[in-house]
Structure 1
Amino acid sequence: MQQHYMDFNATAPIRPEVIEAVTKALSTVGNPSSVHGFGRSARRLVEDARRSVAALVGGRSQDVVFTSGGTEANNIALKGSGRERLLVGAGEHDSVLQAAPDAIRVPLNADGTLDLERLEHLLAASAAPALLSVMLGNNETGVIQPVSEAAAIARRHGVMVHCDAVQAAGKMPLDIAALDVDMLTLSAHKIGGPQGVGALVLAPGVELKPLLRGGGQERRRRAGTENVAGCAGFGVAADLAAAQLTKAQSLASWRDEMERKISVVSPASKIYGQEALRLPNTTCVTMPDVAAETQVMALDLAGIAVSSGSACSSGKVQPSHVLKAMGASDEDAANAIRISLGWSSEAEDIEAFVKAWTALFHRHAGRDTSPAAPASSVA
């Protein structure tokens, strides 16, 4: 049975060039903090990767802090900023929301974008030193947040800004200076790099209190021996993501065609964030009266991998907090799945998904009482 991977927002398949780089790095002996030749060889791999990751976002290599992933980077940003008042978008990733459970949540508009008027009021309510955390591209809906506009509001109130750009990397141009943020989070495995490595990129002059202590690594901002092979793979993935940005943005045409066909089959289906600017690869759509878990399992049996909500929240039974923040009902939120494309996607994936989704819709709508088509017929 042909397999169709359509869950890139959970993790992207690792790129062949990255596998080669990681494999080569694993044969390199030496601690990058050691001063002898072996250590310098390992250090060279880490610093080459640091330059590549910095280039992806228009930053400086000395301002890149390698971490174990996006979750750790988000935690460092929120807990290490030294700001006592925290504000976060209501649709942020759980690694932000749970890192700051007492943070003030800035509401979303119905289209999934941050309510900037409400943000202005919340920032004006207190003169306490504050940090605002706003993601760039939503992991569930693909909605692109007005980060630079939010940052402009924050600056007027002397507020620091953190941006979780994990999902946006490789799908849209990134420039930390143009966004006007103090900190920006990245994750390797979202762009075809290895899992278990990420980065927090700082604006020049930004200082952090480290969460991990015990060594002078990462300019004393994150203790612990660097993941040399992971960093090397991250660097190669960053180079490829930057070089293939135009190709990634072209995925929007496939995404739009898929949504058009779904809407023809089921006019009552809701596509979240469709009215806003979105990442080119992401669709979040409901199937009326069919639970997301049912859809995910049925599509999996047809050889198609999609997800319900964030992969980091697997097993949760409550409706998506992102869709709820957009005004979705519990029922609609519980019936929504996410389809996400990426560097290895093909037109055949779209065709297979629409065919399987349509068959599932008709079965549950009672318009087709025939047995489910064999999985091998989905191509």
Structure 2
Amino acid sequence: MDFEVRKERQRQGPKKLDRERAAYFQLMQQGVSSQEACRIVGINLRTGKRWRNGSHANVGRKKAAPPIYQEAPPPSGPSRYLREADRIHIADRLRERTTIRAIAAELGRSPSTISREIRRNRHPTNGQYRPHAAQARADARRPRPKPGKIGQSAELRDFVQDHLTLRWSPEQICHALRIRFPSRPEMHVTHETIYQALYVQGRGELRRELARALRSGRARRRPHRQAYKRQPRSIPNMVMVSDRPAEADDRAVPGHWEGDLIIGKDHKSAIGTLVERTTRYVMLVHLPIDHSAASTRDALVETVQTLPPHLRRSLTWDQGSEMAAHQAFTIATDIPVYFCNPASPWQRGSNENTNGLLRQYFPKGTDLSVHTRKHLDAAAAELNSRPRKTLGWETPAERLSKLLAA
């Protein structure tokens, strides 16, 4: 800094303090306190405060002075968002007919980021990408919170509310909107938009009581449980799913099953579920008394013994205490049991999906011990006769019969 501190600090009248003011702000940007900067420059502490915050007009003496803000230097490090310099670079390279991937590599960004930037911020009529106009559009779109799409359209809101009342899922409603209004993008929303309108506090776009029409029945979102909060299991001699045969992973060979319990009211009743990985065939295990390790073992042995030997290759279960007697089950049936990792339900995803479908027959919070063996068989038969997209719209029963015939 080529500024010299004044030797004499007498009052100098209405002298313009341009150099002093520039030096003061330079010291402030370097992290010097306001009091120390005023001392170095040789001005009164009130003068520095007035330069920073401005001053009000005094009657008959002086005019109001607005606060003086020094323009902050542009950030030099990496940023999550594109800056104006990045947009200028994009526009220059587009005029040179450079590819999207080359521009992304030069800016250290993903190609999808550059493609999305050009698509969202180009001129709406002629399609040209102008960097300063693109920056203005991005700045105008950035403020939060934004009004929801459902709250802005009464027609859309009524359509969503009517179909939620009919117990349609948000995903079904989204597809129905695209089919009903193919040429009206303002009527198209994602299922997450509907969930946000139901769950987010303060939006008021959909009636809160409609959340109870969802299949989960929850009036608010439930956060995912953290893995570190789970209680460790003490099942002896577990064999993890990573040691399961490779033929079970690709679903090419039938006979590998996934199992779990669906729990009733107050955790006092349960129903066992078995799903074959290749065909998605469902078998329900009757547990009329309790779901202790001994009762679960005996019921599973009785259920799987109805299967032919070539459909009894393995069983994958979570680390529930009901499978503490897995070694006795393996000795009785010759079926090895493999256990999933903690907090990893996707390792038995077919079973998790089937349990969600079974909740239409056995709702949460109800006593499951009242269901007879005949009722369980009827529910399983109805589920096995339902066509599945993942099976090419065949039913699990049809796919299993083909395997048995072969």
Question: Smaller-chain TM-score range?
Answer: under 0.3
Q: TM-score normalised to the size of structure 2?
A: 0.22
Q: Write 1 or 2 for the structure with the bigger share of strand.
A: 1
Q: TM-score normalised to the size of structure 1?
A: 0.24
Larger Rg: 2
Q: Write 1 or 2 for the structure with the bigger share of helix.
A: 2
- Which structure has more relative contact order (CA 8 Å, sep 6+)? It is 1
